Each structure stands twice: as structure tokens, then as C-alpha cells.
Amino acid sequence: DVKVTQSSRYLVKRTGEKVFLECVQDMDHENMFWYRQDPGLGLRLIYFSYDVKMKEKGDIPEGYSVSREKKERFSLILESASTNQTSMYLCASNQQRSANVLTFGAGSRLTVL
Amino acid sequence: GNSVTQMEGPVTLSEEAFLTINCTYTATGYPSLFWYVQYPGEGLQLLLKATKADDKGSNKGFEATYRKETTSFHLEKGSVQVSDSAVYFCALRSNYGGATNKLIFGTGTLLAVQP
């Protein structure tokens, strides 16, 4: 069964801490995405990547960065976490020339105190 | 720009009731349209899709028809079950211009089905 795995389901961090959210997919997908999900706002795209070492800003990239050193792994980095980054973070992937069916991970719920 | 608007929830229904969740969109050109479902504690998964006008997507008893004239993609099910309780997201992918791999999601509609 194809999978997108997010290593941490729940994290609690303090304001100012550096946070790494890891995502790994085993489907050899070219595209990977990071979304955040907030009540009443739906899913908003933070960053996406079309290939190794490639990244593009989504709709809300401020306060975040990403890293894609290997095809299967896409990391989301909060350099200095703030309370307004408390959210559910969802990683997804798909093939370059698919009908854009995204495969999602189960999510990482981050709380910043 | 491109956007998706879906009805606010929560939607609370009794088992075997008829379900409609409204979704309308704004997009340049002819987007592809999707419904994703998120069960409690899980990530999103594709429920159904339609890639051109008048297409009907269907899966697990759910249906949605791509209506270009009304820019809508309403989700329907004739008889809901308790196991359908979830958050439902309408989404579009623009097929116009660059960055065509991006999906734009609506805000989600929580469906609660009571026995």
C-alpha cells in the first residue's frame, strides 16, 4: 500500500524553538507539498517541490522553509516557532503528470506554547 | 484568482438521510474538480473527481456533477451512514497557466451522522 509518512503525529514546542517536520513517501513521486489546516480556513499551501533541491513558495510561506535533499523526503522547517504556527500540518505527494490525485499523510499536530 | 467556496458546517443528519454539500468555484479556463474526505484522526483521501464539464464523479455512493454553467460541483449521497461522518473538502486544480500541480481547497464541511 502506497504511503506518505509523517514522522511526528503530535509535537509540543516553545516559542522561539526550531521545529522540523519530516515527511517521507514511498511512491517515487516527483511532487511533494506541505499544507497547514486550520478550522474555518481549510488547507493552505505553504511550500511545494517539483524535484530534488527544487522548491516553490505556496500561499503562506512566511515563517517557514523547506528542504528536499532526496526525492522521497520533504522537510518543513520553522526557524523560530511562534504561537500562530500552532496548527495541523499535512504533507502530500503526487506524480508529475498525474490527474493530480494527492496522497496525504496522517498529519502532524503542532502546538507552540 | 482561483477559489473554492463550500457550505459551512457542521451538517448534522440522521442515518439514511439525503446529503448535499454545496461547492462552487471560480477559475480561469476549465479546472479539474475534486472531493476529498478526512476521517477522524486521518489525512485527506480522494473521494471522487471530474475533469471536464458534465462529468459525474462517483464513489462509495457519493456523486458530484461538474456543472460549468453554474460553476458548481455539489456532493450528494442518497442515504448516509454513521461511518460517513467526516470532514469533506471540495478542491480544484487549474489547468491554465503555470503551477498546474497546485490544488486549491475549500474550507471543509464537517458532516456528523447520528444513528
pLDDT digits (tens, 9 = 90+) for B47-84: 999 999 999 999 999 999 999 999 999 999 999 999 99
Establish if B71 touches chain A: CB-CB under 8 angstroms.
Answer: no
pLDDT, tens digit, 9 for 90 and up, residues A54-69 = 999 998 999 999 999 9
**Helix, strand, coil tally for chain B in percent (to 5):** 5, 50, 45
Establish if B93 touches chain A: CB-CB under 8 angstroms.
Answer: yes
CA–CA separation, B100 vs B44, rounded Å?
Answer: 20
Percent of chain A whose predicted confidence (pLDDT) is above 90: 75
Tell me the mean pLDDT in the region B86-101: 78
Residues in B closer than 8 angstroms to A89, CB to CB, are none
CB-based contacts of A1, cutoff 8 Å, min separation 6: none
Q: Is the pLDDT of residue B97 over 70?
A: no
Model confidence band, residue B9 (pLDDT cutoffs 50, 70, 90): confident
CB-based contacts of A2, cutoff 8 Å, min separation 6: A25, A26, A27, A103
Closest partner CB to A99 (pick from B32, B42, B89): B32
Phi, psi (5° rounding) for residue B42?
A: -125, 170
The whole-chain average pLDDT of chain A stands at 92
Q: Is the pLDDT of residue A99 over 60?
A: no
Q: What Rg value do the Cα atoms of chain B yield, rounded?
A: 14
CA–CA separation, B42 vs B86, rounded Å?
Answer: 10
Residue of B nearest to A97 (CA): B101
The answer to whether A48 contacts B46, with C-beta atoms less than 8 Å apart, is no
Model confidence band, residue A7 (pLDDT cutoffs 50, 70, 90): confident
Phi, psi (5° rounding) for residue A104?
A: -100, 150
Q: Is the pLDDT of residue A4 over 90?
A: yes
Amino acid at A37: Q
Closest partner CB to B44 (pick from A44, A90, A100): A90
Model confidence band, residue B18 (pLDDT cutoffs 50, 70, 90): very high
A108 in Cβ contact with A89 (< 8 Å): yes
Q: Which of A14-18, A87-91, A99-103, A104-108 is predicted least confidently?
A: A99-103
Tell me the mean pLDDT in the region A72-80: 96
Q: Is the pLDDT of residue B100 over 60?
A: no
Closest partner CB to B101 (pick from A31, A42, A44): A31
Q: Which residue from A83, A36, A76 is spatially nearest to A55, judged by alpha carbons?
A: A76
Model confidence band, residue B1 (pLDDT cutoffs 50, 70, 90): confident
